[in-house]
Amino acid sequence: MTELQESSTAAQIGEQAGPLALDQDSVVGRNVYQAGERLHSRPGDGSLSRSERVQRPIPPNSLTWKYFGDRRTFLTILRTAGLENMWPQLGQAVSDHSQVFGDKANFAERGARSRRIIGTLVYATPEDAKKIAVKIRNYHKTLKGDMPQGHTYHAINPETYYWAHVTFFEAIYNWVDHFGRRPLTRAEKEQIFEESKEWFSLYGVDDSAQPQTYDEFVEYLADVFENELISTTVSRYTFGFAVKPLPAPPGMHPVAKKHVWPRVAALVRLLNVGALEPILRDRLELVWTEDDQRNFTRVSQFMRAFSVVYDRLPLRYRFHPDTVAAFEREGIDPKDITLESAKAALAASRATFAARSAEVVP
């Protein structure tokens, strides 16, 4: 039995009746957990060895490629960062190891940086994607520490690492449903979920926490929102833009800083808090009024209408540079990617991978 299996088994035995609630506020480093929270034990490094890894590439003709590199993903980047930091172990890792609390960094910059790094992975060639993904994983191997009640955490614990992965592909569902030309269909969401399995396989992390079907994923996501994500000092700090506007970027012209930036900051709040699930807004005690909801709906409707124009712009205006380069490399126009072509691409990719795997089996 491996160290990870032993620690996971011990944690399961200790939590058969569910985790105990904190009897008082608990301070760990710069983070504070509120009395009454129930925290699961999630220790152990779920990294797979080279011989254990089964890395499958994301097909270029995928819905993931069609949507993930769209510049509109940045509209709710702070929501994505917030969902990560509401997961207790990820929030604690940020508290212990990140510099986002300093004067020269903030969660908006961290979110944008993370998206660029993950984008490099998604749009890389298969061989480069395998290397980049393992490099990303290995960067997190030293991120571990203490939690309340004597528990510990590790950034590559299978459940924790999978949730971090979910926040990126679930963001596609969120922004397209709110701001795309039309919401995704169930079939399209199911297809993106299937593609997310290939994506996660690239990291070389134990995938035991990953649901097998889209229906299971829907149940998993609802359970995480209901029972896993919590309000701590770190998660409230992440959503601080909802209470205190984001500071203007360094070097902004004083006139723009005074007259333009306040409106931009207000829009950032509206989009990211509006796209957040009501249960999480309530948990974080974020103020959201009927006027806020009406304004959010108006912006959503405007973005849908504007999509008719937006989708006709040159790729360099609609997609991030790494995405544009990948489409040009593969000779693909994202408007030509459909649910049917994505299904065919994934089926062909899996068949090719299975054939190659069979060749090396004695």
Q: Tens of pLDDT along 198-211?
A: 999 999 999 999 99
- pLDDT tens per residue, range 280-294: 999 999 999 999 999
Model confidence at 8, pLDDT cuts 50, 70, 90, reads: very low
Quick one: pLDDT at residue 12?
45
Contact 147, 92 (CB under 8 A): yes
Q: How many CA atoms lie within 13 A of 267 on its CB side?
A: 11
- pLDDT value at residue 111: 56
Share of the chain above pLDDT 90, in %: 79
Closest CA to 321 of 130, 176, 125, 123: 123
**Arithmetic mean of pLDDT, 155-180:** 97
321-345: average pLDDT: 97
Residue 42 has pLDDT above 90, yes or no: yes
pLDDT given for residue 342 in this prediction: 98
Average pLDDT over residues 91-96: 93
Burial class (CB within 10 angstroms; exposed 0-12, middle 13-18, buried 19+) of 93: buried
pLDDT (mean) for 163-184: 96
Reported confidence tier of residue 18, pLDDT bands at 50, 70, 90 = low
